[in-house]
Every structure is written in C-alpha cells, then in structure tokens.
Structure 1
Amino acid sequence: MGDPAVTGPVRTPSVRPDLRGWDAPWAGLRVAVTGLGLSGFAAADTLAELGAKVVVVDAGTSQERHRDAETLRIVGVHEVRLGAEHTESVPDVDGEAPEIIVTSPGWRPDSPLMCDAAARDVPVWSEVELAWRLGARPGARRPDWLTITGTNGKSTTVRMLEAMLLADGRRAIACGNVGVPVLDAIRDPEGYDLLAVELSSFQLHYTELLDPLASAVLNITRDHVDWHGGMDAYTAAKARIFENTRAACVYNVDEPITEQMVADADVQEGCRAIGFTLGMPSVSMLGLAEDVLVDRAFLAERRSRALELGELADFGPIAPRHVVANTLAAAALARAADVDPSAIREAIRGFSAADHTIQPVAKSDDVLWVNDSKATNPHAAEASLRSFSDVVWIAGGLPKGVEYDDLVARVAPRLRHVVLIGTDSSQLRASLARHAPDVPVVGAAVREDEALRQPDAADTGVLNGPDGPAAMRAAVAEAARVVRPHQTVLMAPAAASMDQFGSYRARGEAFVAAVAELMEQP
C-alpha cells in the first residue's frame, strides 16, 4: 500500500537455527525449564512430547507444584526439582549442561541461575520463542501472529483484537501473557488462522526473533525497571516486538518514543508504519473524526477518504480515552489482517472490558463506584483518572520504584479527596503534598475489631492475613463518608498489590466486596 514504509535488513536467529519446526532435531536435546507456572508447564510438556530430555526447576514446594511435577513425570519429563536450592545455578541434564534453557517470564536476568547461564554461555529462550520456532503441529495450519505489548492496556487490547477476528469469521485465539500460553495455542490439532499474542517485556527480553504479520506498542512509561535494571533496558525489551514484522508496525502517535521504536526496527521488506491517535488521523493512521473511529491506512484512497470503523457511542455509557486508543490499536492490527470494518464495529459493540479495569461496581445516591485495581502504575492510574472529572481516589500499595510527582501534578484538578491504602504509601502522600496541597488525604485506618477479623472466602489470595481486606473496608468506609453526589469513587491504586494482596484481582475483589457490604447497610 505504499507509504510510509519501514526499511532495514532482516535479522536471523543466532542460536540453533536448525531448531525450527515440529520435525527439527528436538529428540534427545538437553533442555532445562525454569519455573512451573502456566508457561513453564506448557514448555516442559511440549518438549517432552518432542522427545527432548527435560529437567524442570522451581523454587515452590506447594501441593499444587508437587501435583504438576507428578503430571510432568507421567508425560515423560526427565526430572522435576522443587525447592529454592535448585534455582541457584544452571541444572545439569543427564550429567551435562543443558543445550537450551526455556524460562518462565518471572525469572530476572540478575537471578543466580540466569547469571550462571550467561557465564556458561547457555542460551535462554522464552516459551514464546519456543512456540514461534515450532509453528504448529504437523498437519495443522500455521497461524499468523498479531503481537501486542505496552506498559498498560495489553490484556484489554488483545481481547478486543480477538473479538474483532472472531467477528470476521477467523479461527483465532488470544494467548501469551493474557492467560493461555502460546505453546498451548500452537499445539491445537486443527490450528488457528491468527493468534492475538500479548507479550510482556519479560517475555520479549528472552525472545530472539519472531515474524509477526503485524505488531503494536501501545504506550511506554516507567515500569518494571527493577526487573530490567533501568528504563533504557525496559524500553529496548519492548521495542523487540517490532523486529522482523512483515506487514505493519503499529505505534502510538501521541507517544513519539513508540514511533522511534518503529524507525529503529529491522523489519521485512514492504512493512508499513501505521499510527493510531485520539486526534484526527493523517494518512496511514487510524484515529477519531469527531465521535467516529476511522481508518486512513488500509484503503487505496486513504489520501482523500477514510473508512468508518465505529462510533464512541458503540462503547456504551463510558468510553474512556485510553480504551478508545487501545481499540484503535487493535483495529489497526485487525485491518492489517484484512478484517472487514463491519466486524470491527460488531466487536466494539459486543465487547465488555475485563473485571478490575474501569469496572463500574455500584451506583447509589448519584455516586459511581469504580474498580480499576489493574491500574498498577501511575500511567494506568492517570488514564483511569482522566475518565472522570470529580474523584474520590483510593490509591496506594507497592510502588515498584516509580515516581508519582508527574501523575499527581496532572490529575490534581480532578481530585476531591484521596484515601490511601498500602503498607507504606509515604511516597504517594509526599507527591500529593507537593502537587495537590489543597486535596484532603487520609489513610485507611483499620479498627481493632477489623484487624482481628479472620479472613473468609472473599479474602482468598491475601498474603498478610486479614489486613488487606480490612484496610479496603476501611478505605471504602472513609470514601463513603467524604464523597458527594455526582462524584466518582475510583479505586485505581497506581501501585502493585503484593504488600497486602496476592494479586490485583484479589485487591479488586476486596474492593467489590467492601462496596457490596456498604450498599447493604441501612
């Protein structure tokens, strides 16, 4: 389709180029798999089926880990070693060093085992790299990949993309970091036309090279710098998604760093740079023409006209700006795969965001209560806060080394009251004092009887006993005390959950339960 194109030489994998396809020489290959979560289990299971000699190591010793280990032994995994003592160095396989390590996303590059692997020059792959090399089962169709990364919005975008593909009659599935391991998807006996693949920076760090039909970076902001060792390394990991793309590299017009990633990428001949924007799109972009989502990229007459993909009204009563932006990114990937505009509109109308993502949970006395527990960093929280103009904000948690000054300075005019949760929210409190000094801030004080209350079924996933749910009940009670009609109580923590909860889901469930309890009070 012409302009603008991305040019550059295509890089080829530097490690074991012979290991591509189901019939490659996997049999007898010595492989160590680190981690026994969803992706690690899928990797070990797949490699055992291929005839490789597999040793799995995992620090966990729970009953669930032991059950998974026994299952893997039954299907032919050579050995499973559970316990932290097995994760300090590269495990041997049949008395020799492994030829390949396939790692789960959570294993940091500076962990002892990964440092040992680097020192011994043992290549480390993600399960995504393994899946790309395998492609598909013999006799099954090999799918095209549509890949998505970004600091925020990946899961919603990949699910929206899946909905667009299905609405167009394609056999497709959302996979990767979204829940279903890519290895499980490519082992489907029939195969898929397309995979909508969510990729985290962790997975990309350990991935050599893919060949996606189209790829997208939604946004980039400071996150996971502790894992990567710095912002530059984090950004470089995200940028890997554009490498070797065949048809379209999709970038965020409003975040120039993503366009620079495209400019720096080595892609296949004919690949195009496609922008998405919440403003009026130029040629080779998707964007908004007033309240209409339009495509000026994937049509021959793009210099003089645009294709209508939907309207803001199709999103329902709430159309948050970042959700619209992510939908345009998904639409760009779908259009790169020749999805019809009518299917995109059908998907938008039928789509509902995942729980814990700007999730309205109650409305009473003209007060809207919204759960966005998945807003685990300042960028995500800002996107959520910008969806509302009059906010009582419940925030705080484990900050992961991020700064809050910019966030608070930008959203201060929207804040009416802030209720802090988390075991230590001093950093956020200090930013509020500097940049929103007129906004009242209070901690979620837990009464003694609440602190002694035992966790119930709703508290599943809480790490520190009842403290997390008790703090959330206190935060909801405080928010109810200060909120006024026509305001929104928004729980968008801008921090991770692990100081008080097992996951952002557990934190969101605690908020939903606390609001429900409040609504039941006379």
Structure 2
Amino acid sequence: MGSGQVTDWQGKHVTVAGLGVSGVPAAKVLHGLGARVTVVNDGDDPRTREQAAELQALGVTVRLGDGATLPEGTELVVTAPGWRPDKPLFLAAERAGVPVWGDVELAWRLRGTVPGKPVAPWLCVTGTNGKTTTTQMLASILRAAGLRTAAVGNIGVSLLDAVLGDEPYDVLAVELSSYQLHWAPSLRAHSAAVLNLAPDHLDWHGSMEAYARDKGRVYEGNQVACVYNVADKATEDLVREADVEEGCRAVGFTLGTPGPSQLGVVEGILVDRAFVENRRESAQELAEVSDVNPPAPHNIANALAAAALARAFGVPPQAVRDGLRAFTPDAHRIAHVADVHGVAYVDDSKATNTHAAEASLAAYGSIVWIAGGLAKGATFDELVARSAGRLRGVVLIGADRALIREALARHAPEVPVVDLDRTDTGAMLQAVQEAARLAQPGDTVLLAPACASMDMFANYNKRGDAFAEAVRELGAGA
C-alpha cells in the first residue's frame, strides 16, 4: 500500500482506530469496498456501544476498550485524527511495517474511484486560527463564480462523502487540522494556505517544530500557489521548505500595501498583485474592506487568504467581492450580540487560545475583557503585554483564571480586574454584570476567553450562548 491509488480492497485487512465522526464512516466505506475491517476503540461507553452495534450489524468486527493492540494480519491502519502518534497501536504498526492513514488520506486515495464522477481539485486551508472562517469564505467565493463546491474536511461535508457521494464538484474548499495533516502523507493540493502559526496542541505533537512540520505538509506537491502570511515569517519558511511542482508560486497576503506576488490592502480596498498580467506595475481591485464581515483585522487577513486561493483557481475579481459579501460567519466568532447603554457586547467564545484572543482584542479600541477557562498549558504574558493599552477592565472566570490575573499584575497593573471565584455556568451572568459596571459608552465588552471551555461548559458554543443570554438579560433590565 504505497503512495498510489488502491484499486482492489477485496479481502484487505484494515484496522480502523477510533469510532466517532471519522471512524464510523471510514469503517463503513472500507467494508463497502470489500475490505475485512476491524475497529479498535479505547472507550467502552453507551455511545460507543451503540456505534459498535451499528457496525457489527454490517459485519464489521469491533473491539471496545482495546485500542492499544494491533490486530493480527493488519495490512493498513486508518486512524481518527485525534489519536496521538505515540500510541502503542501506531508503534506496533511501525514495527510491523504497516502504513497508517488518516481519514483525509483515505479520502485522497479514493478520489476518482466513482465511475463518471469528476475528480475535484482541493484548495486547502490550515493554520492555528481562522481555518474555518477562511474555508467558508473560500467556498462562498467559489460559489459566487458559479462553481460547484463545498466546505469540507474539518468542517461541513465529510471528505469521504465529498469524494464518494453522488454530488459532482468542480473544486473543494478543504479545512485541515494539524492532526489530519500528520496522517495524510500523500495529499497533494492544487493550492494551499497556512494562515498563521502559534503554539497549540503541543501535547499532541510533542514540540512546536513537530507542529509546524505537520502544518507545512499542506504545501507538499502544490501545483499552482502556496499562500502564506507576510506578517508570520514561520509560514513563509514552510513554503521555502516545501517540495512543490514546477511552476508553483509563493503568494503572500498582508494587511499592508502588497508587493508583487502578494494580495493586500490599499486605502480600504483588497487588491491582488499576484494573479494579474503585469504584477510588477499593476494591481487588481477585488473588494472593499467593508465587504468583509466582520471587518476586524484578522478577518480581513482571512479574506485575503481565501481570495488568494480562489484567484489561484482562476476565479474572476467580481466573484471575490460577491462571495465575501454573501459570507456570514459562524456563531461565536466575533459576533455582535447587542448594544446596551452605548456599550457593544461581542461574543468571540471561539477564541480558545491566546493567539485567537489577541487577534480579537486587536479589533477594538477600548475593551472590558471577559477571559478565563482551561489554559491547556498556555502562558498569557505576551497576550496581556500586547493588549494592555486597549483594556478598560477585565473580568476573570474559570479554573485557570489565576494565570491571567498574574500576567495582568505583571504587565497591566493599572487595569481593574474582577476575579470571579466560581466555575459554575451561572458565573457568566455575574461576569457580564461586572463587565457592564466597568464599561463606559463607546467601549466593547468582549468575551474572548483565550482558554478552553470544558471547566464550565460543554463546549465554546454553550459558553457563547450563556454570554448572549446574559447580555439579553442585561438589556431587558436596561
């Protein structure tokens, strides 16, 4: 099972590591292709038993509570993206010379196996923050150009469905996590973007170098454009290190005036100096900053990256503008909830790490910041030092709030801090009330926690919902 297409799955013994959103579809697809499938899973709870029963009814073997042992005779392992590379199962596979693929690799290998279905090129997006928004913007731009497309991968339609389903696509907008890229050695995109690089998931990857290396895999074998962030040299370094096809170009995006082979911003206009006839002397107007929703700096960067990938695919300038205008961001991503007594309340619960929170804080001039939760090993000195000048006040919630409080004491000692010593879900209402007390007309109360939510809420969506509900309650009493 080398790097080429696998055409005959009949009787191949494939082990699928992990049930869940990627494992169950992978097991079903492989079983349908005639492979002998064994699913192994660490957990054994009511939900996994339900999934196991569904697969067993099809004739798939399932081992619950035993994700460490490599089943005898395994010729290929297909893993859920979240399984860490140092798990005993993978070490055993390596010793036995058995390849390990992720669901993205499996989808890549199965392209072109549906008779009569065109093989759609992949435009890929990765980065520490902004992946989902950029991928959705890209899909919106492609649709505006009249192309059949979908946002797939880490979001939206599953890649296996996109590749094997009946829907014919002209091109796919593919969001990829570092986990997925780690397990996708033969992926070769039409064009790809790394939006930014900041420490994240280091417990999984083992080091920042390993994390960056996995992100950089998205550039391997690119055909037309490797899109990088001019403001983040690490992304450009990954382009330099990549082995790409002859003629593939490095294309930068910047919030400043673009140089040749870059997209950027000139006097409120998004312009292209990469995909024009004479890029040394001319630029193509694509859209206005006001066409980007919301027009926060990091979101304009997302729009430029999406535009670069679309232009690499030959999309006309008007489709970039129309696609950006048609795009609506997901909930809990810099979502304006309400204005109460002249203060704006903004929900960016999706800002679950310091890099995302810093981008969110940079979008506003005077902020009462609601922060805290599970730090996931993060430190906050750099974030606080860079954002201190914008802070009117801070309200801290969650299990690891002391880490942020200590960073504030070091780098913003004059900023008033309310430390709420509670981790129950009701704390959000008190947090919003305290923030309202600190805020003045013209300020923004910003939920950008810089932390994960699981100490208090099921997920960042629930945390954002609690914030919005608290703001509505505040408004009702106004």
Q: Which of 14, 36, 52 matches 2:35?
A: 52
Equivalent residues in 2 for 1:148-187 (5 A)?
Answer: 148-187=125-164
In the alignment, which residue of structure 1 is the partner of 2:318? 342
Residue 107 of structure 2 is matched in structure 1 by 131
Q: Partner letter of residue 102 of structure 2?
A: S
Q: Tell me the residue number matched to 2:11.
A: 28
1:351 is matched with which residue?
327
Asked if 1 retains the 8 angstrom alpha-carbon contact of 2:376 and 2:452, the reply is: yes
Q: In 1, are the aligned partners of 2:42 and 2:68 still within 8 Å (CA)? A: no
Supply the AA of the counterpart residue of 1:158. Answer: T
Question: Could you tell me which of 204, 226, 234 is aligned with 1:257?
Answer: 234
Equivalent position to 2:340, from 364, 370, 375: 364
Shift of the alpha carbon at 1:111? 2.8
Shift of 1:493: 0.7
User: By how many angstroms is 1:26 displaced?
Assistant: 1.1
The CA deviation string for residues 207-253 of structure 1, in whole angstroms up to 9 with x for no partner, is 11212110000000111111111111111110110001111100001
For residue 475 of structure 2, what is the aligned residue in structure 1? 519
Structure 2: distance between partners of 1:341 and 1:366: 38
Residues 504-515 of structure 1 aligned to structure 2 (within 5 Å) = 504-515=460-471
Mapping for residues 107-256 of structure 1, pairs under 5 Å: 107-136=83-112, 137-256=114-233
Q: Corresponding residue for 2:450?
A: 494
Q: Please report how far the alpha carbon of residue 350 of structure 1 lies from its aligned counterpart in structure 2 after TM superposition.
A: 1.6
CA RMSD of aligned residues (A): 1.6
Alignment of 1:89 with 2:69, yes or no, is yes
Q: Output the CA distance in 1 between the equivalents of 2:375 and 2:97.
A: 34
For 1:402, what is the secondary structure of its paired residue?
Answer: coil
Does the CA-based 8 Å contact 1:33-1:44 persist in structure 2?
Answer: yes
Mapped to 1, the partners of 2:376 and 2:89 lie a distance apart of: 23
1:351 Cα shift? 1.3
Name the stretch that deviates more: 335-344 or 507-516: 507-516
C-alpha separation in 1, matches of 2:472 and 2:93: 50
Q: Give the aligned residue type for 1:485.
A: P
1:417 corresponding residue in structure 2? 393
Shift, 1:112, TM fit: 3.4
In structure 2, distance between residues paired with 1:251 and 1:478: 41
Q: Percent identity?
A: 51
Aligned to 1:98: 74
Check whether the contact 1:99–1:123 (CA below 8 A) recurs between aligned residues.
Answer: yes
TM-score normalised by L of structure 2 = 0.96
Map of 1:326-405 to 2, 5 A cutoff?
326-405=302-381
| Aligned residue-pair number | 477
User: What's the CA shift for 1:44?
Assistant: 1.1
Q: Is the 8 A contact 2:292 2:303 kept in 1?
A: no
8 Å Cα contact 1:281/1:287 also seen in 2: yes
Contact 1:363–1:369 under 8 Å retained in 2: yes
Q: Could you tell me which amino acid in structure 2 is paired with residue 260 of structure 1?
A: D
State the one-letter code of the partner of 1:225. Answer: L
AA matched with 1:196: A
Q: What amino acid maps onto 2:375 in structure 1?
A: P
Report what 2:441 is aligned to: 485
Structure 1 residues 77 and 511: alpha-carbon distance in aligned structure 2, compared to 1, 3 A threshold: farther
The CA distance in 2 between the partners of 1:162 and 1:60, in whole Å, is 36
Structure 1 unaligned blocks of 5 or more? 1-14, 447-466
Deviation string for 1:152-183 (max 9, x for gaps)?
00000000000001111111000001242211
Show CA shifts across 1:133-169 (max 9, x none). Answer: 1114222111000001000000000000000011111
How far apart in 2 are the matches of 1:110 and 1:500? 30
Tell me the CA shift for residue 286 of structure 1.
0.6
Is 1:17 the counterpart of 2:3 in the alignment?
yes
Greater shift in the superposed pair: 108-117 or 472-481: 108-117
Q: Is the 8 A contact 1:141 1:190 kept in 2?
A: no
Aligned to 1:3: none
Q: What whole-Å deviation, never above 9, does each CA across 1:482-508 have from its counterpart, x for those lacking one?
A: 222111110001111222222211211
Distance 2:51 2:470 in 1: 35
Could you state the TM-score of these two structures normalised by the residue count of structure 1?
0.88
Q: Once the two structures are superposed, what CA deviation does each residue of 1:294-335 show, in whole Å capped at 9, x if it has no partner?
A: 11111112222111110012236x410000001000000000
Q: How many Å separate the matches in 2 of 1:308 and 1:99? A: 52
In 2, the alpha carbon distance for the partners of 1:25 and 1:17 equals 14
**C-alpha distance in 2, partners of 1:43/1:172?**
22
Q: Displaced runs of 4+ in structure 1, greater than 4 A?
A: none
Query: Helix, strand or coil: the match of 1:234?
Result: helix
How far residue 478 of structure 1 moved from its aligned partner, in angstroms, is: 1.5
Query: What is the aligned partner in structure 2 of residue 456 from structure 1?
Result: none
In structure 2, the residue matched to 1:462 is none
Instruction: Give the counterpart letter for 1:50 in structure 2.
Output: L
CA-CA distance at 1:121 after TM superposition: 3.4
Per-residue deviation, 1:468? 4.0
Q: Distance in 2 between matches of 1:338 and 1:150?
A: 23
Counterpart for residue 452 of structure 1: none
Aligned residues of 1:44 and 1:77 also touching (Cα < 8 A): no
Q: In the superposition, relative to structure 1, how do residues 17 and 238 fare at CA in structure 2: closer, same or farther (>3 Å)? A: closer
Per-residue CA deviations over 1:342-385 (Å, capped at 9, x if unaligned) read 11100111212111110011111111111101111111101000
SS in 2 for 1:437: coil
Q: Which amino acid aligns with 2:330?
A: A
Could you tell me which amino acid in structure 2 is paired with residue 71 of structure 1? E
1:519 to partner: Cα distance: 2.1
Q: Which has the higher contact order (CA 8 A, sep 6+)?
A: 1
Question: 1:70: how far off?
Answer: 2.9
Distance 1:342 1:217 in 2: 24
Q: Note if contact 1:445-1:474 (Cα within 8 Å) is conserved in structure 2.
A: no
Relative to structure 1, the CA distance from residue 436 to residue 97 in structure 2 (aligned partners, 3 Å threshold; closer, same or farther) is farther
Correspondence 1:65-80 to 2 at 5 A: 65-74=48-57, 76-80=58-62
Distance 1:505 1:77, change over 3 A: farther
Residues 445 and 475 in structure 1, CA contact (< 8 A), matched pair in contact too: no
Select the residue among 8, 24, 29 that pairs with 1:41. Answer: 24
SS in 2 for 1:283: coil
Q: 2 CA distance for matches of 1:25 and 1:416?
A: 64
5+ residue gaps, structure 2: none
